[in-house]
Structure 1
């Protein structure tokens, strides 16, 4: 909680955070597949719980500060009232004629503390009221998010239209971080080109998965031509190459460019809106009689892990 926040600004910020989170969760759930649904649901529950706990702590902290100020004001007001009452009683006593006391007239003074009404716990009441307000806001945000378009379904429909236009059909690739490399491997093998690169790859062990061979090929070309890729790499070259060869890190445009060069093929990447990114090999002595084109389908919303590539084969 920011030090200068008032109750109104804090509640406004909480409402915005709730709307943003609900919209984010809704899109995650809509994009989830059967395989990823359990993990996505667990992640969404964790995000909701973390936000609820943090916002409750912020409200409690603000209520604590406000309660201390209010209690101090109430104590000062009660002290002033008590002083005024004592002054008034003293003034009346000095004017009154005191009769001789008798047993009948002697009445014990009531215990002021026992007679006083128990003060309601205002801090708890405020917290309960605000908790109810928060629940109402979350429900409202859920309803608003439910009315948002299903981006996954829209993208799927758009891609189907593009497949018909370009006479392609889709070979779905597992969404595991290796999808770009696995899609390129499927395209190369399905086109009869094989996975032998234009230059020898330093380390290619027997029995490696095909996506791994493609990872090594991409890393090899970048390592041999660092000046072509330096402007697009945000970390030291050895670290970047290790990421390509040995991890499940996603690939992108840089890796596609390296693969187009080392395999001597043009790579066309089809998007749902009809855009085609054309990555050319420039035909630098590829050793292939006729330059080939391989096709990938790019998804931004269709898969639970995020951006994804599928292999696109020519329809018969």
Structure 2
């Protein structure tokens, strides 16, 4: 998939992504603070240090919004917080933690690691609680439908539901129907966008004798797509996607003046040490599954000495490195291919055999 953000000069992002209005994040208190650890007789200095770090970690997990009482926070088990709101809160907490880690500096590396671990654990607990709540809600709904109002439970006598119970059942049924309708509409909308994009891409590539070669959506899709193109042109094993990542990062470092102006701190997903945003970005390019984009394509075109042509459904094809000789490495950019959005695939040439009505693929330009 393509890097979300991917530098300020991202060509596909500039041409394809529509501006979305973002509503202000809802205030949330974040996970509850843990009680400070107290020292007991026999406790070692190392254990006391660990306890202190854990207490600080819990304190950093509180969201930076206005303070609310514990009772005001929606209970996941009671359905007070939807999954969407929970994920929004997680994002705010992660951003807040990133700012806290930046203030700690080099001396606070161990504490920063503890903070991150505590936040990940708290988020995992939230997700598990949400999954249990959803499962329980579904189970209760199925049981209610199976028994019906006033039906007798196993081994018991038929009970007439009270007026309050009937109202609760009616509200629950109406809410379940509404949620199901919204989910279906969202699914249809997403599928519609994906289908429309695929049809537009096929209508563009088909007359040119080109077809899509699927690449796994694992965060390395841009590099894997170029790896496939290099295999088609130069033979199998020309360069692995890991080697392409290292090559892109090294080229960006040696040509920092060409790339660093287009990289902001928001483009780095991990902590930034001593304000070294550009170096942190390069490290993510070479050693993580961070998504690639326009900057990485530029770096690889220059480092490989090959032109790269990027096809898209809603924009004219973009050719990078047209000063280099030889056929271009051809990939395509899809904005709605998967749930996470942006994705890169490789392209192959389709050669039709009229006598048999079959088709074969070729990597030639």
Does 1:238 pair with 2:279?
yes
Cα deviation, residue 195, structure 1: 8.3
Match of 1:267 in 2: 308
Match of 2:48 in 1: none
Does 1:294 pair with 2:324?
no
- Summarize deviations over 1:173-227 as a string: whole Å, max 9, x none: 222111101111221231228988xxxxxxxxxxxx7101111111111000111
Cα deviation, residue 257, structure 1: 0.8
Does 1:248 pair with 2:289?
yes
State the distance in 2 between where 1:48 and 1:294 align: 49
Does 1:218 pair with 2:260?
no
Match of 1:180 in 2: 222
Cα deviation, residue 228, structure 1: 0.9
Which residue among 121, 143, 150 is the counterpart of 2:192? 150
CA RMSD in angstroms, aligned pairs only: 3.8
Who wins on radius of gyration, i.e. which is larger? Answer: 1
User: Where do 5+ consecutive residues of structure 2 fail to align?
Assistant: 1-25, 28-67, 69-78, 86-126, 139-161, 266-276, 352-365
* Change beyond 3 A, Cα 1:216–1:143: closer
Relative to its length, the structure with more helix (as a share) is 1
Which residue among 329, 335, 344 is the counterpart of 1:309? 344
Cα deviation, residue 253, structure 1: 0.7
- Summarize deviations over 1:236-274 as a string: whole Å, max 9, x none: 122111111111111111100111111122211111235
SS at match of 2:336: coil
State the distance in 1 between where 2:342 and 2:133 align: 24
Match of 2:213 in 1: 171
State the distance in 1 between where 2:331 and 2:252 align: 21
SS at match of 2:341: coil
State the distance in 1 between where 2:292 and 2:200 align: 24
Q: Structure 1 length as normaliser, TM-score?
A: 0.52
Match of 2:158 in 1: none
SS at match of 2:241: helix
State the distance in 2 between where 1:143 and 1:221 align: 46
User: Where do 5+ consecutive residues of structure 1 fail to align?
Assistant: 4-13, 22-41, 54-119, 197-208, 284-289
Match of 1:277 in 2: 318
State the distance in 1 between where 2:201 and 2:301 align: 23
* Change beyond 3 A, Cα 1:136–1:298: same
Match of 2:134 in 1: 49
* Change beyond 3 A, Cα 1:121–1:164: closer
Q: How many residues align?
A: 196
State the distance in 2 between where 1:179 and 1:127 align: 49
